[in-house]
Amino acid sequence: MNIFQQILSFLLLPLLFFVPHYASAGTENNMVGWAWSDTTGWVSFNCTNDGSCGSVDYGVSENPDGTLTGYAWSATVGWIQFGSLSGFPSGSGTQSINAKVVGGSFVGWARAIGADNNGWDGWISLSGTSPNYGVTTSGANFVGYAWGGSVMGWLSFDAANGVSGSCGIADCKGVALSGMVSLDAQSPLGTSIANSTSVPYSTIANLIYTLTNLSGATCSLSKTSSGGTGFGTVSGITSSGSTSTQGLSNGQYYFNIACSSGGNIVASSTVSFTVLPQPPGFSLGANQNLNIDFLPAGWSQSNTVTIPINAVGGFTGNVTVNISQYPTMPNASTSAMYSINGGAYTATPSITVPYNGSFTIRAEVSAPLTSSYCSGGSNPCTIVLQGTASGVSAATENLIIVPTAFNPQFNEF
């Protein structure tokens, strides 16, 4: 260690007790172990390495999106910051971004924030060329070298016991991921909705959980927020997977997965998002049948059914209803007509109804239909009613013609 490094170490040692206020507790970070520099010595990636978390909490995390955030500690150069940096230097084959894992390889920069630019600016490049170097993933372990400039030199992420110097514990292991679990929420299209404040009403969220190095642990996934659509806790999770919610009503949602081993929580992750209120709109009444007792000849009429307009989300407009799909008749001599609100029968009925109103509809068919015809797999006897209104989505509802036998009743008077 040269004179400059000795002085820098002396000046930075008090900083061990002044972690930046935004550093995370070591037990909440998922990177552990030590990196090694031949010139500056050991770099600790988690306060759990040496049991210092009770005095000073720090650590570095690999987040679900690959970004690296947090702080590592070197007794020689002080705090090394990952994430929330700017003003990156340029270098051969480097990327001017914050530290990140992309495709199993580290890219970007970290920085020793105690560097005073007097001979060293503190920047640490995680990959580059001329020569080729970098840190890559090997399972839960990180292997390879970062470059720390003239002061730190080559920083090995897979250093092991036996290198010069002491990391402060009996077994100095390289940098690796500890047991961790990540949780994400995605839309049905596969887009993450984590932290979104504008998730559409009735979205079905796919909750995706990824377990890493958690052999022997059992996890439970639950909704920890109140209100909104309910969610049944999923217990007994031992491997990565996913589960889906029902369509979600408006509200703020928090989901948490917690993994336990030996009665202790060893890893957890939370995802949150906000579902918007139901937009204005309407629906038509529930599916109903048009039952027809066919006469021996002529037109046969169905029963009359009432279709309500069900307004939602504060909708107060008028709805125009017509038929968008007609039943398929068995031959050209068979036809159907419809009467709305007791009016004349027509093949193309239409009516405008207020948002809080209803209407009646009745059908008549010119020749008998057999029950076997109307019960076909394609259901050719289905009528699709469509309602439209300005500024909102259209709504549809099915009516089904059901042929029944005509049983005349004879009474004596």
Beta strand 395-404 with 288-293 is: parallel
Rounded to an integer, the average pLDDT of 132-137 is: 94
> Residue 246, Cβ neighbours under 10 Å: how many?
12
DSSP 266-286: EEEEEEEEEEPPPPSEEEEPP
Mean pLDDT of the chain: 86
Is the alpha carbon torsion for 103, 108, 112, 113 positive or negative?
Answer: negative
- Report the percent of the chain where pLDDT is more than 70: 88
Share of the chain above pLDDT 90, in %: 58
Task: Kindly report, residue by residue over 14-60, the tens digit of the pLDDT.
Answer: 444 444 433 333 456 788 899 999 999 999 999 888 888 888 889 99
Q: Are residues 161 and 301 in the same domain?
A: no
The mean per-residue pLDDT over the stretch 247-270 comes to 90
- Whether 370 shows a pLDDT value over 80: the answer reads no
More confident residue, 2 or 301: 301
Q: In what order do the strands lie in the sheet with 264-275?
A: 234-237, 218-223, 251-261, 264-275
Q: What single letter denotes the amino acid at residue 36?
A: W
Regarding whether 343 and 205 lie in a shared domain, the answer is no
Let me know if residue 412 belongs to a domain: no
Is the domain of 270 the same as that of 301?
no
In DSSP notation, 196-258 reads: -S-BPTT-EEEEEEEEES-TT-EEEEEE-S-SSS----EEEE-S-EEEEEEE--SEEEEEEEE
27 phi and psi angles, rounded to 5 deg: -70, -15
Report the candidate in 183, 172, 161, 212 with the shortest Cα–Cα distance to residue 45. 172
Backbone dihedral region for residue 46 (phi beyond 0: left; psi -120 to 50: alpha; all else: beta)? beta
| pLDDT of amino acid 82 | 97
pLDDT exceeds cutoff 60 at 292: yes
Last residue of a domain, one of 218, 250, 275: 275
On the question of pLDDT at 125 being above 80, the answer is yes
Parent domain of 311:
281-404
Q: Do residue 307 and residue 350 come from a single domain?
A: yes
Mark which of 224, 251, 275 sits at the end of a domain.
275
Do 363 and 343 lie in one domain? The reply is: yes
**CA-closest candidate to residue 303, choices 347, 358, 345, 364:** 364
The CATH number covering residue 260 comes to: 2.60.40.10
Predicted confidence band at 254 (pLDDT cuts at 50, 70, 90)? very high
In this structure, are 241 and 286 located in the same domain? no
Query: Do residues 205 and 187 touch, judged by C-beta distance below 8 A?
Result: yes
Does the predicted TM-score (pTM) go above 0.95? no
3-state DSSP of 321-352: EEEEECCCCCCCCCCEEEEECCCCCECCCEEE
Whether residue 410 lies inside any domain: the answer is no
Q: How confident is the model at residue 64 (pLDDT cuts 50, 70, 90)?
A: confident
- My answer on whether 300 and 169 are in the same domain is no
Of 253, 275, 297, the residue that ends a domain is 275
Q: Are residues 348 and 237 in the same domain?
A: no
Looking at the structure, do residues 133 and 187 belong to the same domain, yes or no? no
State how far the Cα of 260 lies from the Cα of 22, in Å rounded to an integer: 27
264-287: average pLDDT: 89
Sheet holding 204-212, edge to edge: 180-186, 204-212, 241-247
